């Protein structure tokens, strides 16, 4: 019963309103990134957003549904990654409950923990379903590592631990920035507004810092990829 009650606590009217919006954010941004072949994913911003405000189970559901809908409606390659998205939402919600979404530097820690989880879950999928080379821009790094003589599992695992921290920290910072741009009254209507409580008057500063760090991380990732391809 405790598990059932825990799951139920994540879902109120605002949660159900936010989930489809979050799914749309994931799919639209994720598809743009795939088309541009960027070395990041950025397809979990909505998932983290829901996980932080509504709880881990709501975040997990959002992540799984995002990839299932994305895969069925637009890109079949997105479908097999739904377990990764599920755990991203789950860990995002857990780290938020631990207080890691109350300042930008703590969000970096949360993003790293989410990244480690995503790397562990995604590696077997990339290796056994795709042979290590997927549709994402990060596969350029995998291909480069394969050319250096690394095995496919080692190359994929290494790529994930290079790309995932940049991606998930960036994703978490962007979700955090969005939350800081919302009114306290609006946030209070979600199941866990206490997950993002910060000092009065510092929301704008936190938003700007989080956004700036996220942009810098994306630029670094693009710079690294360009240098690998040159």
pLDDT tens by residue, 84-106: 999 999 999 999 999 999 999 99
d(CA 41, CA 32): 9
Q: Could you tell me the residue range of the domain that residue 143 belongs to?
A: 2-192+199-229
Which pLDDT value is given to residue 170? 93
Q: Tell me: pLDDT of 228 over 70.
A: no
| pLDDT at residue 224 is higher than 80 | no
Single pTM value for the model: 0.90
pLDDT mean over 78-88 = 96
| Closest to 123 in 3D by CA, of 147, 91, 155 | 155
In this prediction, residue 137 carries a pLDDT of 63
Number of domains in the chain: 1
Q: Give the model's confidence band at 157: pLDDT under 50 very low, under 70 low, under 90 confident, else very high.
A: confident
Which pLDDT belongs to residue 216?
82
Residues 49-65 have a mean pLDDT of: 98
* Residue-level pLDDT at 91: 98
Residues 6+ apart with CB under 8 A from 157: 119, 123
Provide the token pair at 23: 């799914």
Higher-pLDDT residue of 90, 181: 90
Confidence label for 14 from pLDDT (cuts 50, 70 and 90) = very high
pLDDT 10s digits, 21-52? 999 999 999 999 888 877 788 999 999 999 99
What's 128's domain CATH number?
A: 1.10.1760.20
According to DSSP, residue 196 is labeled: G
pLDDT band at 200 (very low <50, low <70, confident <90, very high): low
Distance CA 83, CA 63 (A): 8
pLDDT of residue 135: 63
User: Residue 79 gets which letter from DSSP?
Assistant: G
pLDDT bucket at 212, cuts 50 / 70 / 90: confident
């Amino acid at each position: 019963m405790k598990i059932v009650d825990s799951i139920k606590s994540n879902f109120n009217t605002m949660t159900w309103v936010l989930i489809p919006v979050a799914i749309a954010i994931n799919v639209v941004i994720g598809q743009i990134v795939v088309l541009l072949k960027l070395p990041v994913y950025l397809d979990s911003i909505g998932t983290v957003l829901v996980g932080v405000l509504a709880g881990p189970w709501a975040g997990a559901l959002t992540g799984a549904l995002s990839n299932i809908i994305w895969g069925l409606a637009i890109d079949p390659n997105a479908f097999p990654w739904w377990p990764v998205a599920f755990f991203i939402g789950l860990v995002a919600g857990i780290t938020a409950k631990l207080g890691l979404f109350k300042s930008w530097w703590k969000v970096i820690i949360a993003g790293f923990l989410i990244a480690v989880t995503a790397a562990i879950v995604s590696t077997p999928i990339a290796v056994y379903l795709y042979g290590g080379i997927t549709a994402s821009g990060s596969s350029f790094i995998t291909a480069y590592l394969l050319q250096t003589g690394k095995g496919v599992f080692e190359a994929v695992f290494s790529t994930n631990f290079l790309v995932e921290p940049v991606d998930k920290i960036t994703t978490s910072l962007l979700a955090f920035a969005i939350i800081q741009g919302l009114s306290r009254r609006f946030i209070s209507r979600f199941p866990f507004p206490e997950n993002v409580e910060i000092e009065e008057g510092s929301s704008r500063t936190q938003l700007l810092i989080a956004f700036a760090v996220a942009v810098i991380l994306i630029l670094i990732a693009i710079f690294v990829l360009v240098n690998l391809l040159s």
